[in-house]
């Protein structure tokens, strides 16, 4: 039974996240229905990770097993045809190597968070960025972000409903840079806690707005207390940017 790896891109608006949830619209359920329409098989996708409602993906990786061996290009094109008009695309499809698992074979995940920092509201990117009117100091945010890099207890930036067995995570990358009116925050780690990126982003925005200092961020991290977290950034500015294998 051949195993296929699919790289997905999707706009998270209108979906209750990636993971199938009964009759609610989700990315997983949509792709599984497309597989059924394509080849008549009922499959269960395995993904590199879940994304919350409203979160987007530039590269979500999933795998599925099919009874018949199809050319990868046929799988890609057929699924894309059956996904129309939903905002989901199969960017690439390929035969997975022996033992490949979309989740357990992953060596790292990378996230991007986009903030539009200007008075005027976004139009073309409405629903795809966090609009912050107050000027943000991206350099101060970048300096504070260095505090988060490394192996820490991230309880402060962990959602209360997080199901991870431990709050200990190693953050390999936390970078902030300004791109014109936008501020981009990039994070990389082997794995993340539930809403960790949005929690860290919201607290870094407090630094950028001048309400926190970098030392306030350090104190929040060291508090290991969810109550010490700043406001959580909204879902619609977050992208699963890439999965590393």
Query: Domains along the chain?
Result: 3-95 (3.30.70.580), 108-244 (3.30.70.660)
Point out the catalytic residue in the list 7, 11, 42, 52: 52
The residues that bridge with 174 in the sheet, in sequence order, are: 187
C-alpha separations of 206 from 28, 82, 102, 146, 192 in Å = 34, 43, 35, 15, 21
239, 56 Cβ separation under 8 angstroms: yes
Render pLDDT for 65-94 as a digit per residue (tens, 0 to 9): 999 999 999 999 999 999 999 999 999 999
User: Is 52 noted as a catalytic residue in this protein?
Assistant: yes
Enter the DSSP assignment of 19: S
Question: What is residue 17's DSSP assignment?
Answer: -
* Residue 118 pLDDT class (50, 70, 90 cuts): very high
């Amino acid at each position: 039974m051949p195993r296929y790896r699919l790289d997905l891109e999707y706009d998270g608006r209108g979906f209750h996240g990636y993971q199938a949830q009964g009759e609610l619209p989700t990315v997983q359920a949509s792709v599984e229905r497309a597989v059924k329409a394509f080849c008549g098989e009922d499959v269960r996708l395995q993904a590199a990770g879940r994304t919350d409602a409203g979160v987007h993906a530039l590269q979500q990786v999933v795998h599925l097993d099919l009874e018949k061996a199809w050319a990868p290009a046929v799988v890609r094109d057929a699924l894309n045809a059956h996904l129309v008009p939903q905002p989901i695309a199969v960017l690439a499809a390929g035969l997975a190597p022996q033992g490949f698992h979309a989740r357990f074979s992953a060596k790292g995940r990378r996230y991007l968070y986009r903030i539009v920092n200007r008075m005027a509201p976004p139009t073309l990117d409405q629903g795809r960025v966090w609009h912050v009117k107050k000027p943000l100091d991206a350099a101060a945010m970048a300096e504070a972000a260095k505090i988060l890099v490394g192996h820490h207890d991230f309880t402060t930036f962990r959602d209360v409903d997080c199901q991870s067995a431990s709050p200990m995570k190693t953050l390999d990358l936390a970078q902030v840079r300004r791109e014109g009116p936008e501020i981009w925050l990039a994070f990389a780690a082997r794995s993340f806690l539930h809403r960790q990126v949005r929690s860290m982003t919201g607290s870094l925005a407090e630094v950028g707005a001048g309400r926190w200092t970098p030392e306030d961020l350090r104190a929040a991290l060291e508090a290991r207390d969810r109550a010490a977290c700043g406001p959580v950034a909204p879902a619609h500015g977050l992208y699963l940017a890439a999965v590393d294998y």
